[in-house]
Amino acid sequence: MKTKEVFRCAECGAQSPQWQGQCPSCRAWNTLEPLSVVKGKNRSGTRSPEGSQAPRPLEELSQEGGQGRPSGFPALDQVLGKGLTPGGAILLGGEPGIGKSTLLLQLAGRQAALGARAVYLSGEESLPQLRNRAERLGLLGPGLLAMASTSAADGLAVLEGPEPPELLIVDSVQTLASVSAEGIPGSVSQVRAVSAELVEAAKKSRTTLILVGHVTKEGQIAGPKLLEHMVDTVLYLEGDRSHFSRILRVLKNRYGPSDELVVFVMKEQGLEIVDDPSTMFLGRRDAALSGSALVMAVEGQRPFAVEVQALASKTFLSIPRRTALGFDTNRLHLLLAVLEKRLRLNLSSHDIYAKISGGLAMRDPGLDLGVVAAILSSFYDRPLPEGAIFWGEVDLNGQVRPVSGRDTRLKQAGRLGHDPVFEAESCRTLADLQRRLFGKNE
């Protein structure tokens, strides 16, 4: 069989895939010695998480131990379904500096405050850095443990020890290396091996495992797509770093609903959950200005009002500009083509800019009608009726189609006092919208 060379510390026995002057585990100098090992399969092997290959009747299995523990964030427990499930694996992604480490350190601190043992394994920060951040957030306590390492063996030692913790946070999976795989930390083979070993050990020890994943410039979680299939839950923290709001989206969840979200606001003491985000994204809106429309959007099961702004200005370019912030630019092109065709508007002489205020990025199809209303308002330079709110999907024939969550949107719009309401039941075509808003016929 093939062999490969690793380096083992003569003092503590820790292994490293490459030679270093200082042992990454015990910090002793010049103690790493070469060692030849047989290349085989990953430690994950082919055994099941329960350690047995024999099939068993599901109805005979006990449900004990499958109940989730409170995370310390009630809103987070609700979107996760069961809170922190023992043996569950969670993958958290997000752009650099968006607040992933802060959120997870707060989560570990709240677990420690609830009496659970939480271990924060950092491959990016030193222990003094972690301590300073925990002190700034007011999280220091006896149950909050931390370690700084870039070796997956250290994380496995925590999970396979005599007293495994209830929560293990690995920040991040791209910084750890396993001796069972070749390549540098962050490579496809290393990410696959490290994740497989940690997930299997967490399921055996009934420890909730949270892996932090880096993202690419396209916003996707870096590494093999297999990483998202191996875990039970995939979360994504997003937001504009120039704003204080953050949105935690649930992209995959084996224990509860997906497409849910939690809204946070960044403060000096860390991230705080916004219990009622229905109006926090409106800011100081002036309803007397043209080009501004309110949309009752639904993300997951949460309805909240957002402001859609549009600007139509005369262009001096041969090809007019089309810019969209907060939603897909192709969606803006489609809506403009429908307006030109169905309402016979000459938009080719105008630059069109559209955005969602508050730094939000949304995919709700109900935004279509609000975007159209804001564009028409700016094109005619006339403000929309004060208190008006919109939602509905616009198809290529200029028809307004209903979207999901109509009762939820209506109830929230009524609670916030918005009237009149423009949606598929009251405004069936774009011509109806134009006539009701501006008194113009097609």
Mean of pLDDT values over 149-156? 91
- The candidate with the shortest Cα–Cα distance to 130, out of 144, 116, 113, is 144
- DSSP β-ladder status, 389-390 and 350-356: unpaired
Mean of pLDDT values over 269-292? 81
Question: 17-56 burial, b if ≥16 CB within 10 A, otherwise e?
Answer: beeeeebbbeeeeebbeeeeeeeeebbbeeeeeeeeeeee
Neighbours of 342 (CB within 10 A): 18
Per-range mean pLDDT, top range of 67-71, 97-101, 167-171? 167-171
- The candidate with the shortest Cα–Cα distance to 304, out of 278, 283, 281, is 278
Tokens of 45: 């092997």
Q: Looking at 246-250, 318-322, 427-431, which range is the least confident one?
A: 246-250
Distance CA 283, CA 294 (A): 12
Query: Model confidence at 40, in pLDDT bands (50, 70, 90)?
Result: low
Element (H or E) spanning 8, and its range?
strand 3-9
Query: Model confidence at 294, in pLDDT bands (50, 70, 90)?
Result: very high
Q: Tell me yes or no: is domain 70-273 CATH 2.40.128.50.
A: no
Tokens of 168: 């293990």
Backbone φ and ψ for 204, nearest 5 degrees, come out as -70, -35
The tens digit of pLDDT for each residue in 307-336 reads: 999 999 999 888 999 999 989 999 999 999
Question: Does 418 have pLDDT greater than 60?
Answer: yes
Can the peptide bond before residue 34 be classed as cis, meaning omega within 30 degrees of 0?
no
Question: Does 198 have pLDDT greater than 60?
Answer: yes
Q: What is the pLDDT of the chain when averaged over all its residues?
A: 86
Query: Model confidence at 184, in pLDDT bands (50, 70, 90)?
Result: confident
Q: Which position has the higher pLDDT, 283 or 111?
A: 111
Question: Does 161 have pLDDT greater than 50?
Answer: yes
- The candidate with the shortest Cα–Cα distance to 50, out of 182, 161, 205, is 205
Query: Model confidence at 46, in pLDDT bands (50, 70, 90)?
Result: very low
Query: Model confidence at 32, in pLDDT bands (50, 70, 90)?
Result: confident
Query: Model confidence at 261, in pLDDT bands (50, 70, 90)?
Result: confident
Amino acid 314: pLDDT: 93
Give the single-character DSSP code of 137.
Answer: T
Question: Does 277 have pLDDT greater than 80?
Answer: no
Residues of the binding site: 94-101
Instruction: Give me the DSSP letters along 220-274.
Output: PBSS-THHHHHSSEEEEEE--TTSSEEEEEEEEESSS-SS-EEEEEEETTEEEE-
Query: Model confidence at 148, in pLDDT bands (50, 70, 90)?
Result: very high
Give the single-character DSSP code of 13.
Answer: -
- DSSP β-ladder status, 270-273 and 3-9: unpaired
Amino acid 78: pLDDT: 84
Amino acid 39: pLDDT: 56
The tens digit of pLDDT for each residue in 72-129 reads: 888 888 888 878 999 999 999 988 888 999 999 999 999 999 999 999 999 989 999 9
Q: Which fold has domain 292-438?
A: Ribosomal Protein S5; domain 2 (3.30.230)
Residues of the binding site for ATP: 94-101
Mean of pLDDT values over 406-424? 91
Amino acid 225: pLDDT: 80
Question: Does 206 have pLDDT greater than 80?
Answer: yes
Tell me the C-alpha to C-alpha distance, in Å, between residue 299 and each of 231, 281, 442: 23, 13, 33
Backbone φ and ψ for 36, nearest 5 degrees, come out as -90, 130
Query: Model confidence at 45, in pLDDT bands (50, 70, 90)?
Result: very low
Query: Model confidence at 66, in pLDDT bands (50, 70, 90)?
Result: low
Question: Does 170 have pLDDT greater than 90?
Answer: yes
Reduce the secondary structure of 304-345 to three states and give it as a string: EEEEEEEEEEECCCCCCCEEEECCCHHHHHHHHHHHHHHCCC
Tokens of 102: 């802060």
SS3 category, 54: coil
Query: Model confidence at 42, in pLDDT bands (50, 70, 90)?
Result: very low
Tell me the C-alpha to C-alpha distance, in Å, between residue 232 and each of 29, 66, 117, 175, 188: 40, 13, 21, 21, 20
Distance CA 285, CA 292 (A): 8
Query: Model confidence at 36, in pLDDT bands (50, 70, 90)?
Result: low
Helix axes 188-205, 152-159, angle to 10 degrees: 10
Give the single-character DSSP code of 383.
Answer: P
Amino acid 365: pLDDT: 93
User: In this structure, which long-range contacts are made by residues 215-221, counting pairs with CB atoms below 8 Å and at least 24 apart in sequence?
Assistant: 215/93, 215/94, 215/95, 219/95, 221/91, 221/93
Q: What is the pTM of this model?
A: 0.75
- DSSP β-ladder status, 393-394 and 400-401: antiparallel
Tokens of 164: 């495994």
The tens digit of pLDDT for each residue in 220-245 reads: 777 778 888 899 999 999 887 667 78
Amino acid 44: pLDDT: 45
Distance CA 176, CA 149 (A): 8
Distance CA 433, CA 368 (A): 12
Mean of pLDDT values over 360-364? 85
Sorted by sequence, the CB contacts under 8 Å of residue 62 that are 6+ apart come out as none
